[in-house]
Amino acid sequence: MKLLLLLILSVIIPLGVHASPSAPNFVVILTDDQSWVGTSLQIDPNDERTRSDYYRTPRIERLAREGMRFTHGYAPAPYCCPTRRSLLIGQTPARHIYQKDQANWTSNYRKQLTLPQMLKQANPDYHTAHFGKWDMRYDDVTPAEMGYDVSDGYTDNSTGGGKGAGGPAAADDPKLIDGITERTGRFMESAQRAGKPFFVQVSHYAVHLDIFYRSETLAETQEWKKGKKHTMPEFAAMTSDVDTGIGMILDRIESLGLSDTTYVFFLSDNGGRNSMPGQEGETLSRNSPLRDGKGSVYEGGVRVPFMVKGPGVQPNVISEVPVTGLDFFPTIAELAGFKAELPAALDGGSLTDVIHHGGKGSVIRSNPFLLFHQAVARTPETALLLGDYKLVKTWNRDRLELFDLSTDLEEANDLSKSHPGKTKELHQLMVDFLNDVGAATEKTGSKSEVYETANPTTASNS
């Protein structure tokens, strides 16, 4: 009988790559302002433009080798604060930030089920933590209020040497990378000793301005060959330092014996900056081949490095399935065994089938499209992505642009006039959704409503 059991297990275990622990651990690593091409990882193996031509990030490359990377990975928003809010509750910023009710919207936001709260409902044993940049501006809601057991408290850009702090300069703990990494390690070890499953979000301040780095790292990057789009040794050093911190977390998971029970998710909060004070000699845009950058709903503002590793995730897999940070909430809920009905307002879908089936398949969401929207405090823009097509609307110019990303990654060829039917179809989906959630489409945000028509004028890319 024992021999028969061993034979059965020898068959089941190799085929059982789709299985995951009943109460797995979760580590979400979030970098700040890191471009889709801001690492040395070539995200698309067929396109050498999809990596930095100067920076070196071997630990992020290691993460990709050990897990799955997505060529079509998206942040929920082109700015950091709305993305951070979205990750916490799994909702697009069109529902809750920079909208017409900005003075009062936070009371509704506080009512939403958060990721740490959901995990505790799935299993009261879950221990939860957030380290690094919190930045929930406008109402200063704290990590503790949103369900975290352990955190750094309310933090923002200035905590980690944010814009205006005086860089570029060397520092003993640049962007607080060491402190964040060490606290994360201690938290994981403490949970392991207590026999508790855990969730921890590691929100780095890097590579947001200002630029701080180790002097030893700068000495190394000054010797590297500069590229055409990335040329600044100080920024390369900051990028290298945060890469080192990411590697230390991966090492800690391994040394604690948690690799077989821990999922690691990695993405940036938005695309990279278009410009970098002090950078000289570049002949290509910093986010090339993507159009535009941080603050824009073109690909440069929302497409980001996106990876996952963990139980049942085959190593060194590349997936072309479009995914978003909004998918984290329902994915983690499924992996953690959450049995209750998920909130109806979730805009993401579970990645479980995709990550457990070699990167193939699809993600089922409440809507078949991905949508990126901002208004009120930002330039009003919306983008809707469905299949290969992407529609971009600039509201103050009443302009629509249609792109086929399968042949036009650069978003250089506007198809709105040659494909009026597709343009109308996607625009109707866009305005219907924005109307449903009550989103504003003007910067003032006081009385604006979305257009009721799906027949606006179109213009060129000028």
**What structural domains does the chain harbor?**
20-355 (3.40.720.10), 370-437 (3.30.1120.10)
**CA 210 remoteness from chain centre:** 21
pLDDT tens digits for the chain (462 residues)?
444 444 433 443 333 344 568 899 999 999 999 999 999 999 999 999 999 999 999 999 999 999 999 999 999 999 999 999 999 999 999 987 555 556 666 677 888 999 999 999 999 999 999 999 999 887 778 999 999 999 999 999 999 999 899 999 999 999 999 999 999 999 999 999 999 999 999 999 999 999 999 999 999 999 999 999 999 999 999 999 999 999 999 999 999 999 999 999 999 999 999 999 999 999 999 999 999 999 999 999 999 999 999 999 999 999 999 999 999 999 999 999 999 999 999 999 999 999 999 999 999 999 999 999 998 778 899 999 999 999 999 999 999 999 999 999 999 999 999 999 999 999 999 999 999 998 888 875 433 344 333 333 333 332
Distances (CA, A) of 165 to 13, 14, 78, 176: 53, 52, 23, 13
- β-pair type (381-386, 25-31): unpaired
Residue length of the chain = 462
Tokens encoding 50: 């999809």
pTM of the model: 0.92
For 106-111, which contacts have Cβ atoms below 8 Å and span 24 or more sequence positions? 106/138, 106/139, 106/141, 109/85, 109/139, 109/141, 110/141, 110/145
